[in-house]
Structure formats: C-alpha cells, structure tokens
Structure 1
Amino acid sequence: MASNVSDRPPVIGITTYLEHATFGVWETDAAVLHRDYLDAVRAAGGNPVLLSPIGDWRPATLDWLDGLVLAGGADVDPARYGQPPHPTTGTPQPLRDTSEFALLRAALEMDLPTVAVCRGLHVLNVALGGTLHQHLPEVVGTNDHLPHVASFGKTELSVTPGSLLAQVLGESVSALCHHHQSVDRVAEGLQVVAHAQDGTVEALELPGRRFVVAMQSHPEQNADDVRLFGALVKAAHERRGGR
C-alpha cells in the first residue's frame, strides 16, 4: 500500500558546487557537496537531494521539492552587483551563478521554505538588488571570519528579538564561519536579523514569506545542533500539507 504523501519526509533540495574533483579512478569536473549538509537535513527529519549547478530551474521543474538549502561555495560574480572584481575575489562560475539565481527566483515564486548558507546568503542579497563587500578584512581589519584556509573561525552573533532566527536559535548564538566577503548594501525587502560583534551582517530574513532565513555562518558544521534545519523541515512539511 502506498504511503500518504503527508507521512513522507519532506524533500529538501541542496545546491551543489561545480568543481574539478578527484574520486575513485576519475579526475573530472563534478557536482560535489560537503556531506555535512546531507547529514544535517537528514538528522532534522528531511530527505536531502542534490540539485545540479547547471539545472533548468523554474517552478515547473521544482514542483516535487518541499524545501531548499542554498549551500556555500564560490564567490558570486561581482558583475552581478555592478562592481569590478577585487584581487581576492575568486574566478567567476557563471554556470553555477546562473543556475542558482534562477533556482532562487523559482523558490521565491513558489514560496518554498529556504535556508541560505554563506554564499547562499550572498546569492539571496544580490538577486534582490543588494551588494557585497568583496574582501571583509578591509572592512573589519581582521581575518577572524576566515582565519585559515580550509578551517572555520568562531563568531558570536547577536540576533534580533522576535525574528524567525531568534525563535529557532535564541538571541545569542555561537557560530562557525568561513568567508572573506559579506553583505554591504542590503537588498530592499530583506531584513537584517543578526550581527557579529564587529558589525558584520550575519543573517537575513525575507518578511512576508513562509520561511526564508539566510546565515553567513555554517550551521551545517554543528552536528549537535540542527535546529535551523529542523525549522526548515517543519515549514516544508506544513507547506506540503497545505497544498
């Protein structure tokens, strides 16, 4: 007997990196993702699936999804927010940028519950008309947000009382971060709901939507705390039940 759709774990799509990778006997371009995202979504009760970084994403091709995670990764092409590249800005990835900007537009049109992580926060802000600081150390005077390559720094967040993020994580949060860029001009419609002690914008929300929360830090790295992903799965389940 087929199970009732409302009893199934919500399907949570997670964007993937587009990188040259080595695995098994192969060295080739590949769609890859840190496993921590998969584990966090699964631990929170969702069913994680990987989304292609070159997909044709629009509402008609996403009607099977219940929620979305915009994962971290490469710098957004600064041409998308009208700036020349800073010397430290990474090589643009136009395929991934195009795919994820289209994916985000479709998700917002569908009111799909969304969590945006690190690069994902940048995609959200830029897609809605905001800009980025291309090299945060020039703004705050330290490398605290990216102390070493391939490692995470620690930061303390002050979260706006009453925000969705505060309802999920509380008003004071310890977070793991790995980024050299950050929000500069906030896009119209977005609301800043968390700052680091040095003033860096650490979280955004989109009021009026079912659940759109973006964090500059990496909540998927804390295997003991999947509350944010749990809130995403809950919102995804509620949306599916209401359709």
Structure 2
Amino acid sequence: MSRPVVIIPCDTKVIESMTFDAVGRKYSAAVAEVADCQPLLAPLGPSMLDMGALLEIADGILLSGSVSNVHPSLYGLDEPPLNEKALDHERDSLTLPLVREALQRKLPLFAICRGFQELNVALGGTLDQAVHTVSGRNDHREPSDVPMDDRFGPSHPVTLSGTLKSWIGKDEIIVNSLHWQGIQRLAQPLTAEAHAKDGLIEAVRGPSEHPFLFGVQWHPEWQAKNNTASIEIFRRFGDAVRKLNSSGLAA
C-alpha cells in the first residue's frame, strides 16, 4: 500500500550563480521516518505555481523552516525588510495561498519556524521582524560559529497548553531556537498552545474542526527520532494525513 503524500514547498537557493529549489533533508526525513508519509518537494517559480495540481496529489502539507523571512509588506508592516537578501518572494507566493487552501479544504498542515510565521501571516496575523529588538523579549537567535548540534541544541523552555499539552503529557518542554521573526499579533483563527518565558508564542493550532492545522516556532525535525515531543507531533500529523487519504477526501 502506498504511503500518503506530503507536499513540502521548496526554498529558493542560489549556488554558484545558479538557482535551485531546495528543502533541508531533515524535514523530508522526519516526514518519511517519523510521520511515515511520502515527502514530495514542490518547486517554486511563476511557471510552476499550479495550486490545483499540487492539491490534487497532496494528502498533507509541511511548511519547513528557512533562513529567509516573510516579506513585511505581506503582514502590513510599514517598514523595509531588515535584510533584503533574506527574502524569498517566490516561496511567499506559494505558501501563503497554500495555507488558506489547506484551511478551507481541511487538509492536514504542519508548519515549522518560517512555516509557522507563514501560517500566521496567511490567516491575517502579523510578525515582529526582529524579536530580539522588542522590549521585554529575549534573543531567540541561534549561536553563531558553533557546530550544528549546538546550533540546534536545547535553548529554552516553553510552557504548553491545550491540545499540545495533552499530546505531550507535560506542562513544559525544552526547545531549540533559531529565528529572528516571531508572532506579534496572532491570527484570529489560531489558538496559542505554547509560550516562551518572555511571552512569545511558540506553538499554535487551527480551529478544532480542522483535522490537523498546527505550527511550532522551534525545529522539531532536528533529530526528530530522538525527541519524544517531536515523535508525538510528527506521528499525529502522519495519522491525520493517513486518515484523510484513507477516506478518499484528499484534494
């Protein structure tokens, strides 16, 4: 029996002056090995943005993290981007409408880091471009010039609530932290289900009638098979995707 398909939109990467569509393998590996679904990468670019074609084959969607940021104009911020090079217009043009379609069609969607921010923006929320410059907020950026295990290592606790708390079975977990942007105003359809000690929203879920619309600010895909909280979240995502696939309602 074939595994259900999880679409992962790509990032735009320029390597030696050539443009590539790319996704970190840790995301597709977590989908394949923990969620037990088949990852399928969706390329970017105007000629390839066929939303209908993607939705015809998608049983679920994963929005990955990225070094790029959501453009501030997309959430009504009247200030220029802090770093013009840290933008990905083509990804924005695919992921934001894809979120809205996933909500409307009740298609399982799991959003991570940049994807978490895209989820909030697509549904009408706003972001802070640089959380570390906001009064009362901590610095949530990763350490620089350290081994990858240290960059993605445990950084700070988050307090859990609601559905996420019931899934994990704990009031608090320790997560990694590798981001500049963060939620400023939460989109109305979303509910916050985890907070950092400085009050920053770290996890959200969609309406209760949606089979799986969930996002986290941290990176659960990093060494996902070795983290009990990551296993729980990815397995529940996979279960929701399989349920939709088996019902014949996908796309």
* Aligned residue pair count: 231
Mapped partners of 2:52, 2:239: distance in 1: 21
Contact 1:53 1:100 (C-alpha < 8 Å) held by counterparts: no
Q: Does 1:237 align with 2:248?
A: no
Mapped partners of 1:12, 1:118: distance in 2: 18
User: In the alignment, what sits opposite 2:39?
Assistant: 48
Q: What runs of 5+ residues in structure 2 fail to find an aligned partner? A: none
- Amino acid in structure 2 at the alignment position of 1:78: P
Contact 1:57 1:99 (C-alpha < 8 Å) held by counterparts: no
Report how far residue 120 of structure 1 moved: 0.6
Mapped partners of 1:202, 1:190: distance in 2: 12
Mapped partners of 1:16, 1:121: distance in 2: 15
User: In the alignment, what sits opposite 2:105?
Assistant: 110
CA deviation map 1:169-207 (0-9, x unaligned): 233222112101100011111111100112111011111
Report how far residue 57 of structure 1 moved: 4.2
- Amino acid in structure 2 at the alignment position of 1:85: P
Q: Does 1:148 align with 2:139?
A: no
Mapped partners of 2:113, 2:215: distance in 1: 8
User: In the alignment, what sits opposite 1:175?
Assistant: 175
Mapped partners of 1:192, 1:18: distance in 2: 30
Report how far residue 211 of structure 1 moved: 0.4
Report how far residue 59 of structure 1 moved: 4.1
Contact 1:86 1:135 (C-alpha < 8 Å) held by counterparts: no
Contact 1:72 1:120 (C-alpha < 8 Å) held by counterparts: yes
Q: 1:85 to 1:47 in 2, by over 3 A?
A: same
Mapped partners of 2:142, 2:85: distance in 1: 15
Which of 3, 6, 15 is equivalent to 2:9? 15
Root-mean-square deviation (CA), in Å?
2.0
Q: 1:144 to 1:92 in 2, by over 3 A?
A: closer
Q: Does 1:227 align with 2:223?
A: no
User: In the alignment, what sits opposite 1:209?
Assistant: 210
Larger displacement relative to structure 2 (230-239 or 150-159): 150-159
Which of 18, 28, 34 is equivalent to 1:38? 28
TM-score by length of 2: 0.84
- Amino acid in structure 1 at the alignment position of 2:236: A
Task: Report SS of the residue matched to 1:167.
Answer: helix
Mapped partners of 1:141, 1:156: distance in 2: 14
User: In the alignment, what sits opposite 1:76?
Assistant: 70
Mapped partners of 2:140, 2:241: distance in 1: 34
Q: 1:61 to 1:40 in 2, by over 3 A?
A: closer
Which of 64, 79, 82 is equivalent to 1:87? 82
Report how far residue 30 of structure 1 moved: 0.3
Task: Report SS of the residue matched to 2:104.
Answer: helix
Task: Report SS of the residue matched to 2:100.
Answer: helix
Q: What runs of 5+ residues in structure 1 fail to find an aligned partner? A: 1-6
Report how far residue 104 of structure 1 moved: 1.7
Task: Report SS of the residue matched to 2:176.
Answer: strand
- Amino acid in structure 1 at the alignment position of 2:167: V
Mapped partners of 1:141, 1:64: distance in 2: 41
Contact 1:58 1:103 (C-alpha < 8 Å) held by counterparts: yes
Mapped partners of 1:237, 1:145: distance in 2: 35
- Amino acid in structure 1 at the alignment position of 2:202: E
User: In the alignment, what sits opposite 2:59?
Assistant: 66
